[in-house]
Every structure is written in structure tokens, then in C-alpha cells.
Amino acid sequence: MAKDLGFKYLPRIADQVLARLLKEAGAVQIRGPRWCGKTATAEQAAASSIYLQDPDQGANYLQLAEAKPSLLLEGPEPRLIDEWQMAPQLWDAVRFALDRGHGRGRFILTESSTPRKSEQPAHSGIGRIARMTMRTMSLFESGESNGAVSLSSLFDGNQDIGAIVDFDIEDIAYAICRGGWPEAVTEPNRNVALSMARNYIDELLDSDIEEMDGISRNKTWMRSILRSYARNVSSEASLSTIAADMQGEPPSRETVSNYVDALNRACVFEDLEAWVPRLRSKTSVRTSPTRHFCDPSLAATVLGATPKKLLTDFETFGLLFESMCIRDLRIYANALRGSVYHYRDKTGLEADAAIVLDDGRWALVEVKLGSSAIEEAAEHLKKLANKIDSDREGKASFLMVLTGTTTAYRRNDGIIVVPLASLAP
């Protein structure tokens, strides 16, 4: 049920994911960073809503959540409970209501931060509450990808592709620094749009992290950890490396771990886990995650990068482009009931992304900003695909080099070359 929200709502890929999950479960939990559009998306499907951050009624709602949380669940369904983690007892109230009333699509819970383990609900909600992650806008959602190459179609075997995009290297640099924040995407003034990621970081440091769990943290250390994470984006840097990379006298590794955990729970960081497929040989596979922010604009902001500066620093440009590609692949894969991982083994053979669908189909992706490294990337993909035990894992659905170039095509060896600005779910 669409709502009149007083602004133009840009359709999101998450709309279809949410609609599907509401048909499958009694409630849906939407987790994602602040400003990514969770509430607006949830409002499209909700029949009634309650906002725990409402400045007029929020305090009353929190008191009622302590006294009788079931009253906050009353209203036409699906009922949206926005930022439910502010009153964690509402989770168990929803779970109990689902046990008593049954039915599907009854509640939508949004959250911008995950409670600490000591504050988490007594029951997980498995079987009753479906979970989905919402991210900032992909290039397809912002209208900057023409959608000529469908990820779903590729998995279905339709790989005779051909397309040209009108999205050059300067456009990519701007998209990275602006990010996928809905307000920035719809802002016609580029300078204003570019300021939004900086405002996000400022607000995060000033209040968001402390408001999340009431713990006061050293703002200088927090900013230093953000900067170190950004310098190590798209890498497998350990927490020890993150700590050692901090300017000045770094805090202990335990403190760094605590701060990183808080930033993970606030959905600021979103690392990419390792894929461990069954191989033909006994090669050891690395299991460290690669480091990513929820949106590449945050990494660019803390590094002081601008679109103009990225054009003179192609090493940083390439790493941030890879992070933007991972963001978009995660969004598209999620729509297909899939997940994205990275692969690297002890021999150094790697893939920037492995897309694995729930039905077992998989594909490998290497990210290259320019055209000069496409040949090398293609050879790596073929070598890695041959290393994976296809009798047990199945054959790769496709091998892709995802680029910042302007032409999509299929090579004679079967490798597909796809500009990010042509990709769609």
C-alpha cells in the first residue's frame, strides 16, 4: 500500500524483496545504515506505523514499551515499528504476537543498529521473523546504470551480451564520492550532494555511536579508525593492521576491536566474508574478510577524496570503485536470493567477488576500473574456475570482469566484460 510521503519515492530493489518476505514470514526485520531509505521503503508496504524516534511521542512510546509493549503493536497490518532496537523488548512482543495470532506479513521492524549481545532479545525469531539487509542505492536504482545486462539473465545462461553505456570515468568518480544516499541521489546541486557523506560522518561521530548503546567513545580514536579502515578498503587487513595504521599512539587491539564492533553494529562497516568452495586440490583458502564501508562515499570522505582528486590517484580510485561494485553486487544478488563473498587462497589466486545463489549456482567476478587489466583478470578467473571441484560445486554459471569502461561484450573464451553502469538484478 503506497503512501503519500510528500516527496517522490524512487523505487528500490528492496521493494520486491520486502514484498516477497512479507508473504513468507509473520514479520520482516529490515537492517541497514541510517539515511539509506529503510523507513521510506517500509512505509510503501505498511498499513500503519509507529516511530520510536518521533520527537513528540517517542518518550511516551518508550515508556509504554516498558509497561505494556503489546499496545504498541495494535493497528492495521502490516504495522511498521521504526527503529525497534530503541526498545528491544518489542522484538519478543512481536514474536509472542506471531505465536498467538499466526498469519504472515503482520509486522515490519526497521533498525539502524544492532543491540549489544547483552541487550538482544531472548528469542531469535527464527521461523517467524525474516531478515533483510537494505543498502544505499545501486547505480541501477539511481538511474545511472542502463540495466542492459541482467544478473538474473546471466545466471539463466543468456550471456550473448552487447551494450554501450554513457557513464565515463568522471561520472564514476562523482558517484563514488556522492554515494547512494537517496537524498544525495535526488539532489540536483552536486556540491550539496557531495556534502551529505561528510554530514553523515560528522553526525556519526557527534552523537550516533553514543546514542546507539550509551557508551561514550573517544572521537579522535573513532575518526582515526574510520580513516585507517578507509585506507585499507577492499583489502584483508587484520584488526592489528588497522590499529598499527592509526596515526599517533594507537589504542590497544581490544579497544580497536570494540570500536570496530560498534561501527559494524551501526551498519557503517560491512565486511565481505570469504567463500570456501570445495577445490580439486588441497589448497588452503584464506578466510579473512575484506574490509568495506556500507557505502564507498564514507571511505572517500574520511580520506578527503573528491571526484577531482580520484582522477589523479588511480590506486585509491580503483579500491573505492571495487567497493562500489561490491555494494551493487550485494544488492542485485540479494534480489536473486543470493549472497556475495570474496575468494583468495594461499597461492595468491583470488576473485574480488563470488556470487552464490541459494539454489547452488555460482559465478566469479573480478573488478577492474580500466580496460588494460581485463586480459589478466580473465586469465585469473579461468584458472580459479578450473581449480574449483565442479563435480561437487557445479560449473560456474559465468565468469565476469566488472569494469568502469563503457562497453559490455562476451569474449571468445566465454568471459563476459560488463561495465558497472550496465548491470541490473
Tell me whether strands 162-164 and 407-410 are parallel, antiparallel or unpaired.
antiparallel
Q: Which residues of 116-146 are buried (b: 16+ CB within 10 A; e: fewer)?
A: eeeeebeeebeebbbebbbbbbbbbbbebbb
In this prediction, what percent of the chain has a pLDDT beyond 70?
Answer: 93
- Overall average pLDDT of the 275-282 stretch: 90
Query: Tens digits of per-residue pLDDT, 60-79?
Result: 999 999 999 999 999 999 99
Q: Which helix (H) or strand (E) holds 357?
A: strand 350-357
For residues 155 and 127, membership in a common domain is answered with no
pLDDT at residue 311 in the model: 97
For residues 74 and 162, membership in a common domain is answered with no
Average pLDDT for the chain: 92
In a domain, 1, yes or no: no
Identify whether the C-beta of residue 351 lies closer than 8 Å to the C-beta of residue 274.
Answer: no
Cα 370 off chain centre by: 24
Q: C-alpha cell of 295?
A: 557505502
pLDDT at residue 353 in the model: 98
For residues 126 and 153, membership in a common domain is answered with no
The CATH number for 43's domain is: 3.40.50
Query: Of 388, 175, 380, 176, whose CA–CA distance to 275 is shortest?
Result: 388
In a domain, 3, yes or no: no
In a domain, 93, yes or no: yes
For residues 332 and 401, membership in a common domain is answered with yes
pLDDT at residue 212 in the model: 66
Identify whether the C-beta of residue 162 lies closer than 8 Å to the C-beta of residue 418.
Answer: no
pLDDT at residue 118 in the model: 47
* Burial category of 216 from C-beta neighbours within 10 Å (exposed 0-12, middle 13-18, buried 19 and up): exposed
Query: Tens digits of per-residue pLDDT, 160-212?
Result: 999 999 999 999 999 999 999 999 999 999 999 999 999 999 999 887 677 66
End-of-domain residue from the set 133, 163, 187: 133
Handedness of CA 226, 231, 237, 240 (dihedral sign): negative
Query: Of 319, 295, 318, 312, whose CA–CA distance to 178 is shortest?
Result: 295
Query: Tens digits of per-residue pLDDT, 81-91?
Result: 999 999 999 99
State pTM to two decimals. Answer: 0.94
In a domain, 290, yes or no: yes
Split into its structural domains, the chain has a count of: 2
For residues 103 and 156, membership in a common domain is answered with no
Query: What span, in angstroms and rounded, lies between the C-alpha atoms of 376 and 16?
Result: 37
For residues 254 and 355, membership in a common domain is answered with yes
Cross-strand pairs, 162: 409
| Residue 169 neighbours by CB distance under 10 Å | 18
C-alpha dist (Å) from residue 398 to 156, 316, 344, 415: 10, 28, 18, 7
Query: Of 187, 190, 209, 191, whose CA–CA distance to 200 is shortest?
Result: 209
Q: 115 — alpha (psi -120 to 50), left (phi > 0) or beta?
A: beta
Query: Tens digits of per-residue pLDDT, 310-360?
Result: 999 999 999 999 999 999 999 999 999 999 999 999 888 999 999 999 999
- Overall average pLDDT of the 226-252 stretch: 89
For residues 127 and 187, membership in a common domain is answered with no
- Overall average pLDDT of the 112-137 stretch: 74
For residues 92 and 182, membership in a common domain is answered with no
Identify whether the C-beta of residue 78 lies closer than 8 Å to the C-beta of residue 45.
Answer: yes
Instruction: Using alpha carbons only, give the angle 271, 211, 67 rounded to the nearest 5 degrees.
Output: 115
| Residue 421 neighbours by CB distance under 10 Å | 27
Domain holding 53, by residue range, is 13-133
Q: Does 2 score more than 50 pLDDT? A: no
Handedness of CA 49, 51, 52, 58 (dihedral sign): negative
Alpha carbons within 13 angstroms on the beta-carbon side of residue 56 total 1
Distance between the two ends of the chain, CA-based, in angstroms?
A: 24
For residues 165 and 121, membership in a common domain is answered with no
Instruction: Using alpha carbons only, give the angle 378, 232, 247 rounded to the nearest 5 degrees.
Output: 160
For residues 163 and 249, membership in a common domain is answered with yes
Query: Of 309, 397, 10, 312, whose CA–CA distance to 187 is shortest?
Result: 10
Report residue 413: phi and psi, to 5°. -85, 5
For residues 98 and 155, membership in a common domain is answered with no
In a domain, 7, yes or no: no
End-of-domain residue from the set 68, 101, 133: 133
Q: C-alpha cell of 218?
A: 573517544
In a domain, 2, yes or no: no
The answer to whether the peptide bond before residue 251 is cis (omega within 30 degrees of 0) is no
End-of-domain residue from the set 133, 160, 187: 133
Report residue 128: phi and psi, to 5°. -120, -35
For residues 128 and 167, membership in a common domain is answered with no
Residues 6+ apart with CB under 8 A from 398: 154, 155, 159, 363, 416
